[in-house]
């Protein structure tokens, strides 16, 4: 196993580049920042590092980045993705001053894909499979929306279906029981790197604690290995982090999204 420092270095070098946003409609650079626009009116701000900027320079970058999105009336929401290990003096205050609101922090988890592969017994009648059919995809997205506490979003499902049509490598995996999707998640192989990401993990409350999420994660890890990926990464909530830790992934940093809404 690599140590935490080496894993974090691999994360910074391989993932905090164009590889982080394969489904971007457009990318504009602003100093060290990458200003990304996705379908559905979503903006996303990321960077490999802030280049040693001081608080005054960071305040200017925040203002200019927001102005970029304010000028595009189609963008209704912008996320600035921060990482806990970055040197970013004054960033929190600058974001708050411009109307960004912090959401819950998550753990950046990384580890060997092979460590996630296991034969997990499933409850009677539960099966795991990859889905591509529109009906399955819309049912999966609706379940995730409900688990994450939001309203069912047609736009989210449309964006996922659009990505499938582009064939950017994303895979959708679900667990189901009697035709009902009870757990789901994406596999995101990152082109040109040793990584694949596991994202969007969601399980209906009454099905939690039964090994279903671990089985779904194992299935995605097997697929990643078949694609030649060595490492898995995920931004994990406190629900999924312990599961990934038990499988051998380690916390290398934290990430906190700051969100601006028009």
Instruction: Kindly list the domain boundaries of the chain, sorted by start residue.
Output: 4-106, 111-254
Report the C-alpha gap between 100 and 259 in whole angstroms.
5
Average pLDDT over residues 64-88: 97
Q: Are 109 and 241 in contact (CB under 8 A)?
A: yes
Task: Say what the pTM is.
Answer: 0.84
By CB atoms closer than 10 A (0-12, 13-18, 19+), residue 17 is middle
Four-way CATH pick for 111-254: 3.40.50.720, 3.30.2310.20, 3.20.20.10, 3.40.630.30: 3.40.630.30
- Residue 19 CA to chain centroid, in angstroms? 12
Q: Are 237 and 104 in contact (CB under 8 A)?
A: yes
- pLDDT tens, 89-140? 999 999 999 999 999 999 999 999 998 999 999 999 999 999 999 999 999 9
Res. 9 pLDDT band, cuts 50 70 90: very high
Is residue 151 predicted with pLDDT exceeding 90? no
Could you tell me which residues come within 8 angstroms of residue 246 by beta carbon, excluding any fewer than 6 positions away? Answer: none
Is residue 12 predicted with pLDDT exceeding 90? yes
Asked: is 4-106 a CATH 3.40.630 domain? The reply is: yes
Report the C-alpha gap between 228 and 121 in whole angstroms.
26
Is residue 86 predicted with pLDDT exceeding 70? yes
Size of the chain, expressed as the number of residues it contains: 262
Q: Would you state the torsion angle of the CA atoms of residues 202, 252, 112, 184, taken in this order, to the nearest 10 degrees?
A: 10
For the chain, what percent of residues have pLDDT higher than 90? Answer: 82
Q: What is the mean pLDDT of the chain?
A: 94
Res. 164 pLDDT band, cuts 50 70 90: very high
CA distances from 65 to 25, 103, 231 (A): 17, 19, 32
Do domains 4-106 and 111-254 share one topology? The answer is yes
């Amino acid at each position: 196993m690599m140590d935490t420092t080496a894993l974090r270095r691999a994360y910074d070098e391989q993932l905090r580049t164009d590889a982080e946003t394969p489904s971007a409609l457009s990318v504009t650079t602003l100093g060290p920042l990458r200003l990304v626009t996705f379908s559905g009116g979503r903006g996303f701000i990321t960077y490999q590092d802030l280049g040693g900027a001081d608080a005054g320079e960071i305040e200017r970058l925040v203002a200019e980045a927001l102005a970029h999105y304010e000028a595009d009336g189609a963008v209704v929401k912008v996320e600035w993705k921060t990482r806990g290990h970055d040197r970013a003096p004054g960033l929190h205050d600058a974001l708050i001053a411009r109307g960004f609101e912090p959401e819950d922090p998550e753990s950046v988890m990384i580890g060997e894909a092979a460590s996630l592969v296991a034969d997990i017994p499933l409850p009677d009648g539960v099966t795991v499979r990859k889905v591509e059919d529109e009906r399955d995809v819309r049912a999966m997205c609706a379940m995730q929306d409900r688990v994450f506490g939001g309203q069912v979003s047609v736009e989210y499902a449309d964006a996922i279906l659009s990505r499938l049509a582009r064939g950017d490598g994303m895979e959708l995996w679900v667990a189901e029981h009697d035709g009902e999707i009870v757990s789901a998640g994406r596999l995101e192989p990152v082109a040109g790197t040793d990584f694949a990401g596991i994202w969007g993990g969601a399980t209906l409350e009454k099905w939690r604690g039964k090994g279903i999420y671990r089985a779904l994660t194992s299935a995605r890890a097997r697929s990643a290995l078949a694609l030649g990926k060595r490492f898995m990464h995920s931004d994990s909530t406190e629900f999924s982090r312990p599961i990934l830790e038990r499988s051998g992934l380690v916390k290398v940093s934290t990430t906190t999204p700051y969100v601006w809404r028009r």
